[in-house]
Structure 1
Amino acid sequence: MVVMGIRAFRWLPYRGQRHAIPDSMAANDVGNTLCGVDVTVPHDPPPRSPDGCWPTCWSCDAAWREFEGIPAFPRPRQAGDAPRTTVGGRS
């Protein structure tokens, strides 16, 4: 739940993606991302993505949205996803 513009989580670039971590985590704190990855918050800012912004971890995004009551964002198709079907079962 968001209280007066305060968010419970923030984004941290880690292992090539933007993961959500509790906003209370400070430099050198050990904890977990919303998707369950063990992380130590770096003292220095992580390097910037060469493309501007690290890709979002979809599991963290889904957990954050559920926590804040925000509708789910459609996840882009990934290699290995089952084919999507339309009405009548045709793809």
Structure 2
Amino acid sequence: MLRWQQAEGKRHALNAKLAPRPGDSFRALCGEEVFVEREDVVALGGQWLAGTCWDCDAVWRKRENIPQFTS
């Protein structure tokens, strides 16, 4: 299951059944290994304010056959 998770200042995408918890790290679709902190989890009072990781977005769109954004 593809899902989005805020971590290290961006919203990254990952392929996982469960969302990572604070203290967990995960390999995002963009290839980065990122660490989740408490403020990254909305259910624990965090804010969903970080910008999208556009490399993750591109991989997601390719997997789902969704057209890429163009400028």
- Kept in 1, the 8 Å contact 2:7–2:36? The answer is no
Give the percent of matched residue pairs that are identical in Structure 1 and Structure 2.
38
Higher helix share: 2
Partner of 1:70: 66
Q: Which has the larger radius of gyration?
A: 1
> Are 1:13 and 2:6 counterparts?
yes
| Count of residue pairs brought into register by the alignment | 65
Whole-angstrom distance in 1 between the partners of 2:32 and 2:59? 13
Runs of 4+ that moved beyond 4 A:
40-44
Structure with bigger RCO (C-alpha 8 Å, 6+ apart): 2
1:40 deviation in Å? 4.8
1:24 to 2:17 alignment:
yes
Calculate the aligned-residue CA RMSD, in Å.
Answer: 2.4
Q: Decide whether aligned partners of structure 1 residues 13 and 30 sit closer, same or farther in structure 2, where only a CA change above 3 A counts.
A: closer
Return the offset for 1:10.
0.7
Please list every run of 5 or more consecutive structure 2 residues that lacks an aligned counterpart in the other structure: none
Which residue is 1:34 aligned to?
29
